[in-house]
Amino acid sequence: MHKADQQTQQQISDLVEACAGYWELRGIARASSHEMQLELEQHLQQAVCDGKSFEAVLGPNPLAFAEAWAREMRPQVFRGGVALRGLVYVLSIVSTTALLSQLLGHSPAFTFTLFAAYLLTGSGLLALLLQLGGFLAPRVRTRAGREALVLACVVLAVLVLRLAGLQVNWNMALLSWSWPMTIVLLTLAAFLFALDCWRSSQGEHTSTASASWPALRSVVTFVANVGVYDIMLFFGSVVVLDFCRLALRLV
Amino acid sequence: METRSTQLLKGTLDMCLLATIAQRPCYGYEMVQQLAQQGLDLVSEGSIYPLLSRLQQHGYIEGYLVASRDGPKRKYYRLLPAGAKQLEKWQAEWETFVPAVERILKGARSDA
């Protein structure tokens, strides 16, 4: 039995991470997901050592494999995990951005522009694509190659939009609301997050090991994710706006 | 396109897994090896995991982690009483099904 080389080991890690990301999106409980990752990683390692391909384990479509396993982990009543998790993140990011800009700008109202919506959707999609890009591991061997492919797709999509002559007013206000509405949105986000945590905890019965402080860990991870996203959105908007202005001047 | 044997295996894999676990507790890769030793080669080995989860959801088997000397813990599966009962039921169904198909096939051969 020979040990997998470093590149193969990296491919295995990327595949397992992509599956884990997908299972998280599907609302699989963290403890269950950890066990699934462990089983998959050990199986892939043993299979590679026995000279088998990734396809021999996962079939031609790793995403379909991840979905098939996720489907069996979720009782019917808990379907819709992706939608709820996505809604929680969008609401949290939008409400905290509104809160920060109202606090920092001493403004009574917050305006959600088309540019903010574009940035939010675009960066969310990019984060998702980069995460799920690990599914390409059997075809594109290096991680850099996969990331380059995803980024190339994004650049292509932006170019297509630009060439299609999409002229829009990025400062167009989509929504505008005052302090009470921000508080309502924050409360709603907190309620939905609690609901999502409860829903995830209901799936724990299939796992053999219970993680210590699972609720606290979920809260910390979630707050950190939203915080990082807010910071990225703030700095990203400045950088992207400058870049867009420069690009428009050049084109 | 799926071959006939792949289709047949899909319909019986949960039963084969339950029978394998009934012999002794084992982990995923071990099950695949045991099935292969008996002549059942899976098109995608990972297809056992959704089925193992389903068997676990039904309360036929349970998973437990075992510490390993040369790596992280490994998940083993063992049979539960409900699983043993279900396996008996499936075996009885299979023993009725197989002779019926054999009779039909033998009939077709003698007619030809």
Q: Is A233 helix (H, G, I), strand (E, B) or coil?
A: helix
* The pLDDT of residue A236 is above 70: no
Give how far Cα A107 sits from Cα of A96, A99, A102, A110, A150, Å: 14, 10, 5, 7, 38
Of residues A124, A153, A119, the one with CA closest to residue A136: A153
- Of the two residues A47 and A98, the one the predictor is more confident about is A47
Q: Give the gap in angstroms from C-alpha A97 to the nearest C-alpha of chain B.
A: 40
Query: In B, which residues are within 8 Å of A68 by CB distance?
Result: 47, 50
Which segments of A79-213 does DSSP mark as H helices, in order? 81-104, 114-132, 143-163, 179-202
CB A105 within 8 Å of CB A162: no
The stretch A107-126 carries a mean pLDDT of: 81
| DSSP H/E element including B64 | strand B61-68
Read off φ and ψ for residue A165, nearest 5 degrees: 75, 35
CB A233 within 8 Å of CB A97: yes
Residue B53 CB coordination number (10 Å)? 22
| pLDDT reported for residue A114 | 80
Of residues A143, A181, A165, the one with CA closest to residue A16: A143
Q: Give the gap in angstroms from C-alpha B52 to the nearest C-alpha of chain A.
A: 9
- Give bridge partners of residue B27 from the DSSP assignment: B76
CB contact under 8 A, A38 and B44: no
CB contact under 8 A, B53 and A206: yes
| Of A18-22, A87-91, B26-30, B84-88, the least confident | A87-91
| pLDDT reported for residue A76 | 45
| Of A38-42, A82-86, A241-245, the least confident | A241-245
pLDDT band for position A79 (cuts 50, 70, 90): low
Structure tokens that stand for A209 in this block:
């090991």
CB contact under 8 A, B44 and A40: no
Identify the sign of the CA torsion B32, B35, B41, B47: negative
DSSP A150-165: HHHHHHHHHHHHHHTT
| pLDDT reported for residue B27 | 96
Closest chain B residue to A208, measured at CA: B64
* The pLDDT of residue B63 is above 90: yes
For the entire predicted model, the pTM comes to 0.76
* The pLDDT of residue A20 is above 80: yes
Residue given tokens 């599914």 in the structure block: A135
CA distance linking residue A17 with residue A7, whole number of Å? 15
Best mutation target among B9, B29, B47, B58 (most A Cβ atoms within 10 Å) is B29
B29, B50, B57 member nearest A46 (Cβ)? B29
- Give bridge partners of residue A110 from the DSSP assignment: A177
Best mutation target among B47, B53, B68 (most A Cβ atoms within 10 Å) is B53
CA distance linking residue A244 with residue A242, whole number of Å? 5
| DSSP H/E element including B79 | strand B71-79
| pLDDT reported for residue B32 | 96
Query: In B, which residues are within 8 Å of A209 by CB distance?
Result: 65
Structure tokens that stand for A12 in this block:
């295995």
Of residues A37, A213, A48, A70, the one with CA closest to residue B75: A37
pLDDT band for position A3 (cuts 50, 70, 90): low
A65, A71, A208 member nearest B44 (Cβ)? A65
Structure tokens that stand for B65 in this block:
């982690």
CB contact under 8 A, B44 and A58: yes
CB contact under 8 A, A69 and B53: yes
CA distance linking residue A243 with residue A249, whole number of Å? 10
CB A27 within 8 Å of CB A200: yes
| ipTM score of complex | 0.91
| pLDDT reported for residue A178 | 86
* The pLDDT of residue A51 is above 60: yes
Give how far Cα A8 sits from Cα of A20, A44, B43, B47, Å: 18, 10, 21, 21
CB contact under 8 A, A208 and B65: yes
Q: Give the gap in angstroms from C-alpha B100 to the nearest C-alpha of chain A.
A: 32
CB contact under 8 A, A36 and B49: yes
* The pLDDT of residue A69 is above 80: yes
